[in-house]
Amino acid sequence: MLKISFPYIKRVKNRRETNEQNLTNPPSVRATLKVANLRRYRKELRCGTKRYLAEIEINGEKQTKPIIARTPAEARKSIRKTYGRDTVIYSVIEERR
């Protein structure tokens, strides 16, 4: 069997993308996905971050979502950025462990 190597595909241990996704997504899309994942991990690793439980209404359904932020106001801001300005936020409470 002939093994073809692609120089722009780097194999990284514990990568979330599968090999099939690596072959189907062009390099620019993969780079965008990496940047998005990096931003998410940076947000989690900031000093003073806490986990908040937000009770929100999406498409008429009341849901509880975990949000990582420093303050409840920042949690509300990230909810509005993720789900849209029209999302109804009932409460944002710090999760007790």
Per-residue pLDDT, 26: 63
Of residues 78 and 26, more confidence is placed in 78
Same domain, 43 and 57: no
Neighbouring residues of 59: CB distance < 8 A, sequence distance ≥ 6? none
Same domain, 55 and 90: yes
Please check whether residue 3 lies inside any domain of the structure. Answer: no
Same domain, 23 and 36: yes
Q: Total domain count for the chain? A: 2
- Conformational region of residue 59, where left means phi above 0, alpha means psi within -120 to 50, and beta covers everything else: left
Same domain, 84 and 64: yes
Closest CA to 73 of 96, 57, 45, 50: 50
Same domain, 55 and 89: yes
Spatial distance between the Cα atoms of 9 and 28, rounded to a whole number of angstroms: 11
pLDDT at 12 over 60: no
Of residues 16 and 73, more confidence is placed in 73
Residue 64, beta-bridge partner list: 55
Same domain, 24 and 42: yes
Note down the domain range covering 71. 50-94
Length of the chain, please?
97
- pTM over the 0.85 mark: no
Tokens 């908040």, residue? 52
Give the tens place of pLDDT for each residue, 31-85.
Answer: 666 666 666 655 666 788 899 999 999 889 999 999 999 999 999 999 999 988 8
Per-residue pLDDT, 13: 46
Three-class secondary structure of residue 56 per DSSP: strand
